[in-house]
Chains A and B, each alone.
Chain A
Amino acid sequence: MSEAIIEINSLCKTFVTKDRQVNALNNINLTINKGDIFGIIGMSGAGKSTLVRCINMLEKPTDGTVFFDGTDLTKLSAKKLREVRRSMSMIFQQFNLMMQRTAEQNICFPMELEGVDKKAAKEKAKELLKMVGLEDRAKAYPSQLSGGQKQRVAIARALATNPKVLLCDEATSALDPKTTTSILKLLKDINKRLGITIIIITHQMSVIEEICNRVAIIADSQIAECGRVEDIFYKPQTAAAQKLVYPEGKLTDKLIGKRCMRIVFDGNSSFEPVIANMVLECKAPVNIMYADTKNIDGKAFGQMVVQLPQDENLAKKMFSYVKAKGLSVEEVTGYVG
Chain B
Amino acid sequence: MWDEATLNMLVQGVVETLYMTIASTAFGYIIGMPIGILLVTSAKDGIRPCAWLFKTLDVIVNITRSIPFLILLVAVMPFTKTIVGTSIGSTATIVPLTLSAAPFIARLVESSIKEVDKGIIEAAQSMGASNFKIIYKVMLPEAKPSLIVGSAIASTTILGYSAMAGFVAGGGLGTIAINYGFYRYEKELMFVTVALLVIIVQVMQAIGMKAAGISDKRK
Residue contact A58 to B127, C-beta cutoff 8 Å: no
Residue contact B127 to A113, C-beta cutoff 8 Å: yes
Tell me the nearest residue of chain B to A163, going by C-beta.
B127
| Given contacts A98-B120, A98-B142, A100-B142, A89 and B127 within 8 Å (CB-CB) | yes
Residue contact A99 to B129, C-beta cutoff 8 Å: no
Cβ of A10 under 8 Å from chain B: no
Residues in B whose Cβ lies below 8 Å from that of A161: 127
Tell me the nearest residue of chain A to B119, going by C-beta.
A96
Tell me the nearest residue of chain A to B118, going by C-beta.
A96
Please report the C-alpha to C-alpha distance between residue A99 and residue B120 in the assembled complex, in whole angstroms. 9
Residue contact B119 to A94, C-beta cutoff 8 Å: yes
Q: With both chains docked as a complex, state the minimum distance between the C-beta of B23 and any C-beta of chain A, in angstroms.
A: 29
Residue contact A113 to B128, C-beta cutoff 8 Å: yes
Cβ of B55 under 8 Å from chain A: no
Residues in A whose Cβ lies below 8 Å from that of B215: 100
Q: With both chains docked as a complex, state the minimum distance between the C-beta of B211 and any C-beta of chain A, in angstroms.
A: 14
Please report the C-alpha to C-alpha distance between residue A310 and residue B127 in the assembled complex, in whole angstroms. 64
Tell me the nearest residue of chain A to B140, going by C-beta.
A100
Segment of B69-77, B130-138, B153-161, B163-171 engaged in the interface with chain A: B130-138
Residue contact B126 to A89, C-beta cutoff 8 Å: yes
Residue contact A98 to B133, C-beta cutoff 8 Å: no
Residue contact A98 to B138, C-beta cutoff 8 Å: yes
Residues in A whose Cβ lies below 8 Å from that of B138: 98
Residue contact B127 to A101, C-beta cutoff 8 Å: no
Tell me the nearest residue of chain B to A144, going by C-beta.
B217
Most buried by B among A88, A98, A161: A98
Residue contact B127 to A85, C-beta cutoff 8 Å: yes
Residue contact A113 to B120, C-beta cutoff 8 Å: no
Residues in A whose Cβ lies below 8 Å from that of B123: 90, 92, 96-97
Residue contact A112 to B137, C-beta cutoff 8 Å: yes
Please report the C-alpha to C-alpha distance between residue A82 and residue B141 in the assembled complex, in whole angstroms. 21
Name B217's contact: one of A84, A100, A157 (CB within 8 Å): A100
Residue contact B217 to A99, C-beta cutoff 8 Å: yes
Please report the C-alpha to C-alpha distance between residue A112 and residue B141 in the assembled complex, in whole angstroms. 15
Residue contact B137 to A109, C-beta cutoff 8 Å: yes
252-306 of chain A: CB within 8 A of chain B: none
Residues in B whose Cβ lies below 8 Å from that of A86: 127-128
Q: With both chains docked as a complex, state the minimum distance between the C-beta of A118 and any C-beta of chain B, in angstroms.
A: 14
Residue contact A141 to B217, C-beta cutoff 8 Å: yes
Most buried by B among A85, A90, A100: A100
Please report the C-alpha to C-alpha distance between residue A96 and residue B144 in the assembled complex, in whole angstroms. 17
Residue contact B126 to A113, C-beta cutoff 8 Å: no
Please report the C-alpha to C-alpha distance between residue A83 and residue B127 in the assembled complex, in whole angstroms. 9
Cβ of B184 under 8 Å from chain A: no
Residues in B whose Cβ lies below 8 Å from that of A56: 126
| Given contacts A143-B217, A143-B218, A100 and B141 within 8 Å (CB-CB) | yes
14 pairs from A and B in contact (CB 8 Å cutoff) = A56-B126, A82-B130, A83-B128, A86-B128, A90-B123, A92-B122, A97-B120, A99-B117, A99-B217, A99-B218, A100-B218, A109-B137, A113-B129, A167-B126
Q: Which 5 A-B pairs have the closest CB atoms?
A: A96-B123, A82-B128, A85-B128, A96-B119, A90-B126
